[in-house]
């Protein structure tokens, strides 16, 4: 039994169609179809490419300038990594980034036969692409942080800190979506979120206080406050940017996963034709016009239903 998951022990990806409906509502399906045209998909590809190219450019600038004259004049360069190490990091970032762009392009070609999944595909790739950028920048900022804080120990401290906080946030997101799929606890998740945030601050205030204590004497020696903040807190800042993006996209990615897993069930549930849903055998312009008319009809039906329910409730009150 060790190492084998029990049959009744479900994970976040094991929900049935009925359970997934708690997460995948009609509004998400409609939004996914609204942004599924060829033109929108092409524009989104450039967004995915830019999400990693920003990291490439900034990594090149930081890596090349890491041993510049301005840096030498202010800091002990014995702490910083060698230029060879920076060159290896730059090369790794280039390989991963351009590999991601090729993968994104390949996915665009493949997904043309399942156009209803384009929103899911974009959410996945923008999260991965921006994650590559932020993690690369956080890593390359580590020696710069060590320079500003005059201690190599902060490289290890920031790595541990980033990993721990990332795990906490991912576990929290996982637990929230599990409670949506399998339980009712999600209704109070905002209160739980606030209490856990307070708990996190109380646990990590000592670490943050220690960093601030080391940083405080830099303000008297260096006039560029922006440079101090970026140098001292760069690794934390870049990881925080990615975690914020992950926080917003995690649920949407999970919704897309279940829309893909139960695609035919959802298509039939919400009454879309195969041409509207997949769109691989029809002209894209005509398809989007058909979807627009279909969504407008659904909106009118909802308004009509709302009016009937309102009239019914008024009659019940009068009785």
Q: Which residue has the higher pLDDT, 235 or 102?
A: 102
**What is the C-alpha separation between 35 and 41, in angstroms, rounded?**
8
Q: Does residue 191 fall inside a structural domain?
A: yes
- Residue 14: inside a domain, yes or no? no
Q: Residue 65: pLDDT above 80?
A: no
**Mind listing the pLDDT tens digit for each residue in 125-138?**
999 999 999 888 88
Buried b (16+ CB within 10 A) or exposed e, 86-104: beebbeebbebbeebbeeb
In a domain, 85, yes or no: yes
- Map tokens 């599990």 to a residue: 178
pLDDT at 41: 87
Q: What is the pLDDT of residues 275-296, one digit of tens each?
A: 999 988 888 899 999 999 998 9
Residue 209: both structure tokens together:
């206080």
Average pLDDT over residues 234-238: 81
Q: Is there a domain that residue 314 lies in?
A: no
Instruction: Look over the chain and give the mean of its residue pLDDT values, rounded to a whole number.
Output: 77
With respect to residue 15, please indicate whether it lies within any of the assigned structural domains: no
Q: What is the pLDDT of residue 308?
A: 76
The three-point CA angle 247-248-251 to 5° equals: 85
On whether residue 93 sits in a domain, the answer given is yes
Question: Which range has the top average pLDDT, 99-103, 180-184, 191-195, 233-237?
Answer: 99-103
Over residues 298-302, mean pLDDT: 86
Sign of the C-alpha dihedral computed for residues 104, 105, 106 and 108 taken in this order = positive
- Does residue 60 fall inside a structural domain? yes
- Determine the 3-state secondary structure of 66 from DSSP: coil
150 in the Ramachandran plot: left (φ > 0), alpha (ψ -120 to 50) or beta? Answer: left
What pLDDT is recorded for position 78? Answer: 57
Of 46-60, 216-230, 256-270, which has the strongest mean pLDDT? 256-270
pTM of the predicted model as reported, rounded to 2 decimal places: 0.78
Residue 64: predicted pLDDT: 57
Which residues, 6+ apart, have CB-to-CB distance to 144 below 8 Å? 62, 66, 80, 231, 234
In a domain, residue 193? The reply is yes
Q: How far apart are CA 137 and CA 58, in angstroms?
A: 7
- Tokens 């990693």 found at: 52
Residue 220 pLDDT grade (very low, low, confident, very high; cuts 50, 70, 90): very low
Outline where the chain has alpha helix (H). 17-20, 26-34, 38-65, 69-74, 83-110, 118-149, 153-182, 189-215, 218-221, 225-261, 263-270, 274-277, 284-318
The CA distance from 107 to 103, in Å, is: 6
Is 60 a residue whose pLDDT tops 80?
no
Question: How much is the pLDDT for 188?
Answer: 43
Sign of CA dihedral 53, 56, 59, 60: negative
Residue with tokens 């627009």: 292
Note whether 123 and 249 are within 8 A (CB).
Answer: yes
pLDDT recorded at residue 105: 87
* Number of domains composing the chain: 1
Which two tokens mark 318? 């009068």
Phi, psi of 15 (to 5 degrees): -65, 145
- What is the residue range of 129's domain? 20-305
Q: What pLDDT score does 262 carry?
A: 94
Q: Are 242 and 134 in contact (CB under 8 A)?
A: yes
- The burial class, CB within 10 Å (0-12 / 13-18 / 19+), for 241 is middle
Coil, strand or helix at 112: helix
- 187 pLDDT more than 70: no
What is the band of 185 on the pLDDT scale with cuts at 50, 70, 90?
very low
């Amino acid at each position: 039994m060790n190492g084998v998951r029990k049959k009744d022990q479900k994970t976040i990806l094991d929900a049935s169609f009925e359970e997934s409906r708690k997460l995948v509502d009609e509004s998400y399906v409609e939004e996914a179809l609204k942004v599924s045209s060829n033109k929108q998909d092409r524009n989104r590809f450039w967004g995915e490419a830019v999400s990693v190219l920003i990291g490439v450019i900034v990594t090149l600038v930081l890596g090349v300038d890491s041993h510049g004259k301005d840096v030498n004049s202010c800091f002990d360069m014995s702490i910083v990594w060698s230029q060879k190490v920076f060159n290896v990091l730059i090369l790794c970032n280039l390989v991963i980034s351009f590999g991601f762009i090729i993968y994104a392009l390949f996915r665009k070609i493949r997904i043309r036969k399942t156009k209803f999944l384009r929103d899911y595909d974009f959410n996945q790739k923008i999260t991965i692409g921006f994650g590559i950028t932020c993690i690369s920048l956080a890593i390359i900022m580590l020696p710069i942080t060590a320079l500003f804080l005059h201690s190599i120990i902060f490289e290890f401290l920031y790595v541990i800190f980033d990993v721990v906080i990332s795990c906490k946030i991912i576990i929290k997101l996982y637990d929230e979506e599990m409670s949506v799929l399998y339980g009712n606890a999600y209704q109070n998740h905002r209160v739980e979120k606030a209490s856990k945030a307070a708990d996190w601050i109380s646990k990590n205030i000592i670490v943050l206080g220690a960093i601030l204590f080391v940083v405080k004497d830099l303000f008297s020696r260096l006039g560029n406050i922006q440079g101090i903040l970026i140098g001292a807190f760069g690794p934390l800042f870049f990881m925080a940017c990615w975690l914020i993006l992950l926080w917003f996209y995690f649920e949407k990615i999970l919704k897309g996963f279940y829309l893909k897993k139960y695609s035919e069930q959802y298509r039939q549930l919400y009454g879309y034709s195969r041409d509207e849903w997949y769109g691989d055998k029809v002209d894209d312009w005509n398809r989007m016009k058909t979807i627009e008319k279909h969504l407008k009809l659904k909106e009118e039906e909802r308004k009509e239903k709302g009016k009937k329910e309102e009239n019914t409730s008024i009659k019940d009150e009068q009785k």
